[in-house]
Amino acid sequence: MAINEIHTPVLLERCIELLAPALTPPGSVLVDATLGMAGHAEAFLQRFPELTLVGLDRDLDALAIARERLAPFGDRVHLVHTVYDGIGDALAELNMSEVQGVLFDLGVSSLQIDRVERGFSYSKDAPLDMRMDSTSELTAEVVLATYSEPDLRRIFQDYGEEKLAARYAKAIVAARDVTPFIRSSQLVDVITAATPVVVQRMGHPAKRVFQALRIEVNQELSVLERAIPAALEAIAVGGRIVVMAYQSLEDRIVKRALAGASGSTAPAGLPVELPEHRPVFKLLVRGAELASEDEKAENPRATPVRLRAAERLRRA
């Protein structure tokens, strides 16, 4: 089955609509900071015949798929193996000082979810890996084997917003003293056993723990905190950024960064706003846009998405 038959890009038409004013002029450059299997990238290259695309991804498997998929576009495509906070270095290597558009589609890619052996899913047994970049050293297995009980509790609380974080951390430390955690099913069994029956009825008890481990292994939040400002800095006047987040921790970081860039820096009480205090960006959507019911029905992975967008008004 072809990739484009199994991978439906989230909010594709809305992303195109928001970025189109910046990408229509000849010579425009779009950075797809989370390339994945290149569903969004391919559509943009087709819609904008004079567009150049820079695709970033930390996942070598995704880059291999994207390279094949985007081969028909030739030298209009530049692919870079990097985490998305490396956007500045990637553009410098390509001798690009600024770009007209940046797209982030955060979270776990379809490729990572669908390949069981990557260990991202709590519903299927697999090695406890969870690395988005197979060349990095930290895995979920290493986290579970080496982190202290307080550190495990912290990541479950901070990255999973898990109310039973302390209970789960204690259970994991006790279990690993008997048998090392190697497979995801072992972790699921320990978490389930430590979860009150009434809580189990509210959803899979391992969901938030797996999210927390994935975020820790890939340092997703700290990377995102660096990536959004770096992306904003790279955008030319009139250029635009679109970011799609899938959980509240990511969206909070994006919201804060875009709010800061789109706010006035004038001191409180100043009677007239001086030019240097005017906002550098303007927000293009009110709050965070959600997927429509039709979009959710067609593409269930769009259900939790929160989309934010902004346009550069001037150079700071």
112 annotated binding-site participant: yes
Tell me how long the chain is. Answer: 316
39 annotated binding-site participant: yes
85 annotated binding-site participant: no
46 annotated binding-site participant: no
151 annotated binding-site participant: no
81 annotated binding-site participant: no
89 annotated binding-site participant: no
Burial class of residue 59 (count of CB atoms within 10 Å of its CB; 0-12, 13-18, 19+): buried
Report the C-alpha gap between 55 and 250 in whole angstroms: 21
Annotated binding site for S-adenosyl-L-methionine: 38-40, 57, 84, 105, 112
Annotated binding site: 38-40, 57, 84, 105, 112
